Amino acid sequence: MTEFLPLGFSDVRDLQLFYFVVFLGIFLFALAGNLLVITTVALSHHLHTPMYFFLMNLSIIDLGSISVTVLKSMVNSLLNTKSISYTGCVAQVFLFIFFIEVDFAFLTIMAYDRFVAICQHCIMRGCFLLIIVSYIQIFSTVLRIPTERDQHKAFSTCLPHLIVVSLFICPAVFAYLKPTSISTSGLDLVVAVLYSVVPPMMNPIISIMRNKQIKGALRKLTG
């Protein structure tokens, strides 16, 4: 065996070019957004804290994961080919799993960071269980806060990270736990796109739009 034939979206040439344009736009959008976050954090000294360190590294990992999958798909669509070499496939699978695992580890650390900041007490569980337990404790603690203003402030602190986690986990859980009776190649392809492409594209948007310090630092950098 020297090559594989990845599942494509369409055999129609016009649609292949259309998908190339769509994924090119997604890739450039993710590239610009993540580079913006990386540059802002790297050049703003007041953002050199652990939380923003993890945020910057999350953007680096997102760039790696989307580059591993989308670039090859774009090349195949543009050149009207469907093959990938055995070595290339092994490298792609290894790098994608590596980036996803590191991404998941960073999301877990960030969840624990918010857990400690709000609830102020430690827990020994696996990555997925740690995220779930952290947010159960966070929400129960926030609901006991007496003033609505402080509740809203606490929820606003967790909301960006919760959205990122949901974008990453929900499609992945659906992909691997859905019944085999509804497992079709088209559905599998759509779900794979959701958990491999959407999070790297949305993470910088969420980080910038929901974080006042990053927005302030970005305004300073842009004059």
How far apart CA 131 and CA 164 sit, in angstroms, is 12
Specify the pLDDT at position 123: 44
Specify the pLDDT at position 122: 67
Average the pLDDT over 84-112 and give the result. Answer: 83
Specify the pLDDT at position 160: 72
Q: Please report, for residues 31, 44, 184, the alpha-carbon distance to residue 205 in angstroms, rounded to integers and kept in the order given.
A: 11, 18, 31
Q: How many CA atoms lie within 13 A of 60 on its CB side?
A: 14
Nearest Cα residue to 52 out of 105, 113, 100 = 113
How far apart CA 117 and CA 147 sit, in angstroms, is 18
- Does the structure show a pLDDT above 80 at 154? no
How far apart CA 195 and CA 174 sit, in angstroms, is 10
pLDDT above 70: percentage of residues in the chain? 80
| Distance linking the first and last C-alpha atoms of the chain | 56
Average the pLDDT over 2-8 and give the result. Answer: 74
How far apart CA 222 and CA 41 sit, in angstroms, is 13
Q: pLDDT of 42-87, one tens digit each? A: 888 888 877 788 888 888 888 888 888 888 888 888 887 777 888 8
- What domains, with CATH codes, occur in the chain? 3-221 (1.20.1070.10)
Specify the pLDDT at position 121: 44
pLDDT: which is higher, 70 or 210? 70
**Which amino acid, one-letter code, is at 71?**
L
DSSP assigned state of 6: P
Q: pLDDT of 155-189, one tens digit each? A: 777 777 777 777 777 776 676 666 666 666 677 77
Question: Which two structure tokens, joined as six digits, stand for 139?
Answer: 């929400």
Q: Which of 122-126, 149-153, 211-215 has the lowest mean pLDDT?
A: 122-126
Q: pLDDT of 114-150, one tens digit each? A: 776 666 546 444 666 777 777 788 778 878 878 888 8
Specify the pLDDT at position 64: 87
Specify the pLDDT at position 176: 63
Query: What is residue 84's three-state secondary structure?
Result: strand
- Return contacts of 157-164, CB within 8 angstroms, 24+ apart: 157/114, 157/117, 157/118, 158/114, 158/118, 159/210, 160/206, 160/207, 160/210, 160/211, 161/107, 161/110, 161/111, 161/114, 162/135, 163/202, 163/206, 164/107, 164/199, 164/202, 164/203, 164/206
Specify the pLDDT at position 192: 72
Confidence of residue 190 (pLDDT cuts 50, 70, 90): confident
